[in-house]
Amino acid sequence: MNGVLELLPHDMGLRVELDTNETYYLKSGWAERCDGIYGLACGYVDYVEGITWFKNPARIAIMNSHVKLAVPFDEHETETTKQSEDAK
């Protein structure tokens, strides 16, 4: 995983899929270090409960050894999703 994240824009959110079948959504400004990805988690998917968007982002460290896929996502889309889910 090292070096792959260097190509991704840090000014966008990051979706990180783990080998534990979990997915975290990190806010823009995340950082890659030698041992993992560090940032603020703004959402979580466990594939049983579905996606949960956090009201208050929490600090998270994700170790590279557990990362299956890391791709950027548009944080603005999540705002629209939150608003539409709240309206239900």
Amino acid at 15: R
Whether 69 has a pLDDT exceeding 70, the answer reads: yes
pLDDT at 4: 60
pLDDT at 31: 93
Looking at every residue in the chain, the average pLDDT score rounds to 83
Whether 44 has a pLDDT exceeding 90, the answer reads: yes
Burial 25-39 (b: 16+ CB within 10 A, else e): bbbbebebeeebbeb
Of 36, 19, 24, which is closest to residue 71 (Cα–Cα)? 24
